Amino acid sequence: MNKFTITVPASSANIGPGFDSAGLAVNKYLTLSVEYSNVWEFEHQSVHLPANPDPAKHLIYQAAKETADTFRAPLPPCKVVVESEIPLARGLGSSASAIVAGIELANQLCQLSLTDQEKLKQATMMEGHPDNVAAALLGGLVIASPLASGEIGVFKKADPQVELVVSIPEFELKTEDARKVLPEQFSRNDAVAASAVGNIVFAALVSGNYELAGKMMEEDLFHEPYRASLIPNYREIRNEAKSAGAYATVISGAGPTMISLVPKGKGSLVSASLQKRFPTYNVELLKIDPYGLRVNLDLSSRLAR
Ligand code: HSE
């Protein structure tokens, strides 16, 4: 009987003005250990996940089923042990990682041989926007945009030379609620101003001008000004991180986590300063995951079959 594992990183979407299009994969992981079974069964081994999950309502199962249906393949049942280091509803892409994991589960179980583009299309359709799912799938810094043809345009840079510090509060913020505070429309002038900031941020990040990227990241006009009031200590976290040497601090995804981009070698200092000042937060020093989704086939179980 074949066994395999699927590992998907967490992600931080937006990176300031890359609203709904840019994401960074980070080294916190969702891992599925899968073996064939007669019935569907999920077992959770994580403080972040509820006990006794119902397979039919499980996001990973739903993503797998929808993928199998899209490609008209029967989905064989299996037992899935889920381990997760990704806290829920904190802006670290937990649902995107689950969707990417579910798509890969169908890919393996149904032997679909999906391309990254096919997986990304499927994931974007399920999540509604590509930012978290593209980073979780591909790793690194990813900027993605659906095209009129249905294809997803994607740019990836695997290894921006920064460290990351996340300040994760104890409370949850649902993406749905954090999207309700955003304007439905922008005037042309406002759209031009907001996308100009974004253009500089991503040109600077990709070319390694992190000082400039940091300066512009904190000037986002697409979502941060509207969400700041939902996030206690928004300004204080920014200021503390900046004083300790960070390039910039922005809302991670829809929040409430804040993420600081920090020069290499300064992450411990920034992390310690933030943890001292905000003791109720879980402050963690993270790295960019350059790889994204990976699958590990258990060859010993295959040989034993
Ligand atoms: N781009 C999304 C948002 C990320 O900011 O609402 C969360 O899904």
Write the CATH number of the domain with boundaries 162-286: 3.30.70.890
| Residues 89-147 pLDDT 10s | 999 999 999 999 999 999 999 999 999 999 999 999 999 999 999 999 999 999 999 99
Ligand 1 within 6 A of 256 CB? Answer: no
Are the C-beta atoms of residues 37 and 217 closer than 8 Å to each other? no
Going by C-beta distance under 8 Å and a sequence separation of 6 or more, which residues neighbour residue 196? Answer: none
Question: What pLDDT, on the 0 to 100 scale, is given for residue 52?
Answer: 84
Reported confidence tier of residue 301, pLDDT bands at 50, 70, 90:
low
Distance CA 270, CA 261 (A): 10
What does the pLDDT average to over 53-63? 95
Domain extent listing, the chain: 3-158+290-304, 162-286
Instruction: Return the best residue to mutate from 172, 175, 224, 230 for the ligand 1 pocket (most ligand atoms within 8 A of CB).
Output: 175
| Ligand 1 center–CA 302 separation, angstroms | 40
| Residues 262-297 pLDDT 10s | 999 999 999 999 999 999 999 999 999 999 999 998
Ligand 1 within 6 A of 85 CB? Answer: no
pLDDT above 50: residue 37: yes
Are the C-beta atoms of residues 303 and 184 closer than 8 Å to each other? no
Tokens in use for 105? 């589960």
pLDDT above 70: residue 248: yes
Question: What pLDDT, on the 0 to 100 scale, is given for residue 303?
Answer: 46
- Helix 188-207 to helix 210-217 angle (10° resolution) is 150
Write the CATH number of the domain with boundaries 3-158+290-304: 3.30.230.10
CA-nearest of 250, 212, 213, 220 to 234 is 250
Question: Per mean pLDDT, which range of 47-51, 83-87, 181-185, 208-212 is the poorest?
Answer: 47-51
